Structure 1
Amino acid sequence: MLETTNRRSRNRVFVWNRNFAQRQRLTYRAEDNKLTPEPHQTVVEAFLRELRSRLDPPQYNYAILRKFLEQADFNDLIQQTPSSRYTAPLVLLDDRCDDTGWRGLDGEQHSARNWEKYASYPPVGSRRFTSLMDAGQLYQRQMASRIAEGAERRVMYIANISPLCAMAIISTAARLRAPTLRDYFQRYLSNRVYFGVSMVRWQLLRAFPFIYFVQDLGFALEFHLPYYALRQDVALQSDPRGLRRSGYFIPSPEGPQKHEYLYEAQVSLLLTGVDEWFWTAYCCAETYFGSEESIQYYSDNQLDALTGGEKSMLDPVWNPREYFLSILTRRLKQVTKEWSNIVETLQDRLRLHDEGIFGDHSRKASLTDNRKFSHTREYTATIDLLRLLHNSLVRIVESWDSFGSGEVQYFEIRNEESLQAKWEDYLASIEKDMTELRFLRRVLSQNIEALNDKRSDFVNASTMVESRVAILHGDNIGRLTRVTVVCAQCVELIKQAKIPRCFYL
């Protein structure tokens, strides 16, 4: 069945719309058409219902997103009186536009770029606006017209997104982008794995004749990478939003040291736009446990936070597909290293169970468990952790395999040899990291199988010992019963012989 699905995906052609290389100026106006709730609606309700399908479930639809957004008070944005916990900068915003790519020396407008030159000498852009912002400041900036501000290329890095920050984004987004943003935030909040490219389509009705036709009004490039991170610290760092979990890691057998903690995290990107000139990138990262540099550091050093500082903000990437690949490459490498740290540390912890093979045979551990079943409980807890990690890795690898069998074709570019070679380098780096994740998945799977066998040995050996002890107890009880009977008979004989009690008491 899987082979049939992959074969169909390979036969299906995923082609990037050539119109995206041309400026779609008539569609730009729709990007300033903001979400407008009805008098009886809240902002959250309007956002969740905007352009929804009539076939969507009436209940439990986007329940996680609704619960998250309803923690914020929209009045804090419009009145500019948020509480102190909302005033910390959460967003690094970078707005700019590119005039050099479409206006010639003769003043005429040209609607296509020469990506070969952009790859070597990218323009800095004009009307540049870069700033650290809290939720209220982001709301005010996004309420302004993007066309008037010249914010055609909008890049947004969000560290530990809060409900109010999400409210600022959804309440100021274009109506056409509401379905895309709904799916993005729902996947992010639910710790979902996802790789996808989709076309933003709009169904129109001609007045005469009455014919429906579908038109591409943009694109959406998206990925979600959940992972676990291992950190050594004096205290457990909790997610202030209560969104991600954290807990203690398997202790080291070498003795007391700083506690080790396992943190749940995710990095997500949505890049959506009208064409290759007018687009927005949202990147949500979680840094509450020290996963990367602070948002202030990125701003002070003019580094591209979405790539983790891999690129400079002075050399922006203007092609949306190339920017998506560069971010995915860097973030996947980050996630792969975090996974490697965890699996290698687990391997080191589990070497203790092999001491009977490679260690001192005279100190070989007993197969039987103690009365409190400490060894069995230890194995069970370790297996539960391994299964949690293994299942997460399985989801990442399978999601990428599905994406690689079809939608990755959107990143094929013709007549741009140097650009295509650069993109193929990105894809080769991604595949290399995926190969490493596949190896780590196999390691976890083998450890689960080995520990399951050892736990079964403990249980079986302990059961056999308990059975043997029970048999011995039964034999002893039998002997005591026979002795009791004999003693009773002796007493009865003595009584019948009428011997005075003083002789046998």
Structure 2
Amino acid sequence: MSTEFETRREFSHQSLRRYWPKRFTKRQPFNPNSENQTYLEYLQIEQYLGEGVSDEEDEEEEGNEVEAEEEDGASCEDDGSSNAPEDDVNEQSKAADASNQISDVRRFMRGMERDEDFLDDYDMVDEVAKFCEGGSDGPFRAREKHVAILDERNIAGTIIDKGGYCRTNLEPLTLEQLFDKLSRKRLRVESDSTNAFDDEEIDAERRIVFISDLDSFTIQAIIKTASRTQAPALRDLFHKYLTRKASIGVTISNGFPVFTLELHMPYYVLGKSKTASRDARRKSDGSPLRQSRKLDFLSRSLDASKGSNPTDQHYWLHEAQISIVVTGVNNWVWTAYGFVDTYFGSKGTVEDYDKLKGRHWEREDPLAAGRLNGGEPIWTPREYFLRVAQSRIREVLKEWNRIVRTVTEEVEGSRDLVYSSSKITAQKLEFLERRNSQMAALSTQLIGGLSETIQAWEGFRTTEANYFLFDEVSTAEPSLEASLNAIDKEFSKLMPGLRKLEQLKKELCDRREGLNAYLSLDGRAAARQLQDLTVLAIVFSPLLITSALFSATGVLPSPGLGKFIYVLVVVTGTMVAMLLVLYHWRYCLQRGVDYMQSAVSSFNELLNGNRISSDAESWDIEKGP
């Protein structure tokens, strides 16, 4: 990287110093059940314990009340309070039944009591729950198609093999296989009765989950198997992926030590095909999760204004999202989730990565778009997150560059036609104006999406990027500043595209005003031509009417020049009077009313002047000057 770029794009080291906590850099012992126990099981146990504590407190309070009543000589039977415990049990059983009717997805998104108060969006629970509840026919749907790639391994303290000890090695899995793999205990727990382990499989400390076109069934598979340490990160991940939010950041929990690194990038993909590529996933209202817009105005010529058929190939603008989240309890036990959209025909599906082999016939890392060797993994979560982010940003940059280039070619290609608009017909001119308005609307949409992504990165690089630059205690990990600078350079390449789209939008808006002005001028010219023809018709109409009268048999006596001139004068005067009546009667009437009002006003002023004069004389005589 050049020195000029580093000077121009320095990270704000001193603006807000943030350190990577030391508790994540030391391999301290922790309870494996925090990773082996699912979050739904944890919620059920906590709810049961909470009800037990509540029942004990109620019993203690009732016992104290009974003792106090006995001291006062009161009896419980007198007021009929013996039925109260039974009513409480019935109410608790009804509440338990009602809670059991809530779906697992909604229970997972709600979490513990008052957890919803800490959610970033009030609609997070409903957005995810309705998508899953409305898009599923049951708990799971059997599929032969591979839906996910899973990589589970551990470093075992020292690296003997670069690949570590693998439980799964980037295996493509069906939905049932994914659920089965994730349902197993992640970390081995030593049995109390023997020196053996309850689960003989090796620890899955480092877990990578890649899913293309995440749907309601894969969400349920993850929710039913996710541990409680991953629940907060997954709630946010599901919501931002489904709603196409742009976000880049780091979250350090204040309670149980958990970190979360997130990258969410919404973008657009411009494709060209004969048929539409529709997203089969559906929201609760039945609409597709991702929209695909047909851009006919990019693939048609001006001949389309004559009603000709469009070309066989059509441009389509597809909504897409990439969401990457790395969350864990330390630098050894962590999980990375990667969700990408491929419904529009992308080559980044699970099947594609299953076929992709590296130089040693090992599968490439799907989260990094195949740019990292899956057989030689990166073990530290921060470095892995940055390397994956850099690879994915390159993919997004390519798509944005293609869109900007296509829009630029379309705008520049129609520039000559607009500036030579006097040489084309009014029909083509109207088509060009409509196409220009569609291009302006498209530019506005693209600018909004690209600006959101750039702003997310700018907010990250000025604050939370310091988590990758500074450690609370010195470690042997390599510096991550080079990776951050590489990502920053990729994002800086998005800025020219944004500025280009803004320039094109301004040109399109100016062009639209010019086309509207030309159309209005063209309309006024036609009106002037019609007015000239009308004047000519009026001028020659008396002569034509007079000739018609003399040519009609039996209408007028024998023709003569004097009689002809006389009739011509009469007809002309009559037509002039009619024109005056038709076109100027309002003006004449208004002038007449004005004259009458003026006369009345003058008369009133004259009367008032005489009265004032007589009053003045009286005042002078009686009171003096």
Mean Cα deviation higher: 178-187 or 24-33: 24-33
Distance 1:498 1:352, change over 3 A: closer
- Report whether the alignment pairs 1:20 with 2:75: no
Amino acid at match of 2:243: S
Amino acid at match of 1:23: R
Residues 91 and 134 of structure 1 are in contact (CA less than 8 Å); yes or no, is this contact kept in structure 2? yes
What does 1:251-400 align with in structure 2 at a 5 Å threshold? 251=299, 253=301, 256=311, 258-300=313-355, 301=357, 302-355=363-416, 366=423, 369-370=426-427, 373-400=430-457
What does 1:398-477 align with in structure 2 at a 5 Å threshold? 398-413=455-470, 415=474, 419-420=478-479, 423-477=480-534
Q: Determine which of 269, 292, 299 is the counterpart of 1:229.
A: 269
Distance 1:381 1:501, change over 3 A: farther
> What is the Cα deviation at residue 325 of structure 1?
0.1
The structure that is helix-richer by fraction is 2
Amino acid at match of 1:190: T
Distance 1:60 1:286, change over 3 A: closer
Match of 2:179 in 1: 139
> What is the Cα deviation at residue 60 of structure 1?
3.7
Q: Distance in 2 between matches of 1:501 and 1:269?
A: 103
Match of 2:127 in 1: 64
- Report whether the alignment pairs 1:182 with 2:182: no
- SS at the partner of 2:27? coil
> What is the Cα deviation at residue 59 of structure 1?
6.5
Q: Distance in 1 between matches of 2:465 and 2:451?
A: 19
> What is the Cα deviation at residue 322 of structure 1?
0.3
Residues 369 and 375 of structure 1 are in contact (CA less than 8 Å); yes or no, is this contact kept in structure 2? no
Distance 1:18 1:501, change over 3 A: farther
Residues 122 and 317 of structure 1 are in contact (CA less than 8 Å); yes or no, is this contact kept in structure 2? no
Match of 1:210 in 2: none
Q: Distance in 1 between matches of 2:375 and 2:261?
A: 23
> What is the Cα deviation at residue 381 of structure 1?
0.7
Gapped regions of structure 2 (runs ≥ 5): 1-10, 45-98, 189-200, 282-287, 303-309, 358-362, 565-625
Q: Distance in 2 between matches of 1:186 and 1:369?
A: 49
Distance 1:314 1:346, change over 3 A: same
TM-score (normalised: structure 1): 0.81
- Report whether the alignment pairs 1:219 with 2:259: yes
What does 1:56-205 align with in structure 2 at a 5 Å threshold? 60-73=123-136, 75-77=138-140, 82-83=141-142, 86-101=143-158, 123-130=162-169, 131-148=171-188, 149=201, 150-202=203-255
- Report whether the alignment pairs 1:49 with 2:49: no
Mean Cα deviation higher: 22-31 or 130-139: 22-31
Residues 550 and 556 of structure 2 are in contact (CA less than 8 Å); yes or no, is this contact kept in structure 1? no
> What is the Cα deviation at residue 430 of structure 1?
1.3
Q: Determine which of 281, 288, 291 is the counterpart of 1:245.
A: 291
Q: Distance in 2 between matches of 1:176 and 1:197?
A: 15
Mean Cα deviation higher: 275-284 or 478-487: 478-487
- SS at the partner of 1:227? strand
> What is the Cα deviation at residue 128 of structure 1?
2.5
Residues 225 and 266 of structure 1 are in contact (CA less than 8 Å); yes or no, is this contact kept in structure 2? yes
Residues 148 and 211 of structure 2 are in contact (CA less than 8 Å); yes or no, is this contact kept in structure 1? yes
Q: Distance in 2 between matches of 1:365 and 1:416?
A: 72
Residues 321 and 411 of structure 1 are in contact (CA less than 8 Å); yes or no, is this contact kept in structure 2? yes
> What is the Cα deviation at residue 26 of structure 1?
2.1
Distance 1:57 1:280, change over 3 A: closer
Amino acid at match of 1:238: R
Residues 12 and 461 of structure 2 are in contact (CA less than 8 Å); yes or no, is this contact kept in structure 1? no
Match of 1:213 in 2: none
Distance 1:232 1:178, change over 3 A: same
Distance 1:15 1:31, change over 3 A: same
Residues 367 and 461 of structure 1 are in contact (CA less than 8 Å); yes or no, is this contact kept in structure 2? no
Residues 191 and 226 of structure 1 are in contact (CA less than 8 Å); yes or no, is this contact kept in structure 2? yes
Amino acid at match of 2:299: P
Q: Distance in 2 between matches of 1:53 and 1:40?
A: 19
> What is the Cα deviation at residue 379 of structure 1?
0.2
Q: Distance in 1 between matches of 2:214 and 2:555?
A: 98
Gapped regions of structure 1 (runs ≥ 5): 1-6, 102-117, 203-215
Match of 1:207 in 2: none
TM-score (normalised: structure 2): 0.66
> What is the Cα deviation at residue 346 of structure 1?
1.8
Distance 1:293 1:176, change over 3 A: closer
Q: Determine which of 33, 38, 43 is the counterpart of 2:37.
A: 33
Residues 368 and 391 of structure 2 are in contact (CA less than 8 Å); yes or no, is this contact kept in structure 1? yes
Residues 158 and 283 of structure 1 are in contact (CA less than 8 Å); yes or no, is this contact kept in structure 2? yes
Residues 213 and 343 of structure 2 are in contact (CA less than 8 Å); yes or no, is this contact kept in structure 1? yes
Distance 1:271 1:484, change over 3 A: same
Residues 10 and 406 of structure 1 are in contact (CA less than 8 Å); yes or no, is this contact kept in structure 2? no
- SS at the partner of 1:217? coil
Q: Distance in 1 between matches of 2:354 and 2:558?
A: 103
Q: Distance in 2 between matches of 1:31 and 1:145?
A: 8
Distance 1:72 1:167, change over 3 A: farther
Distance 1:478 1:63, change over 3 A: farther
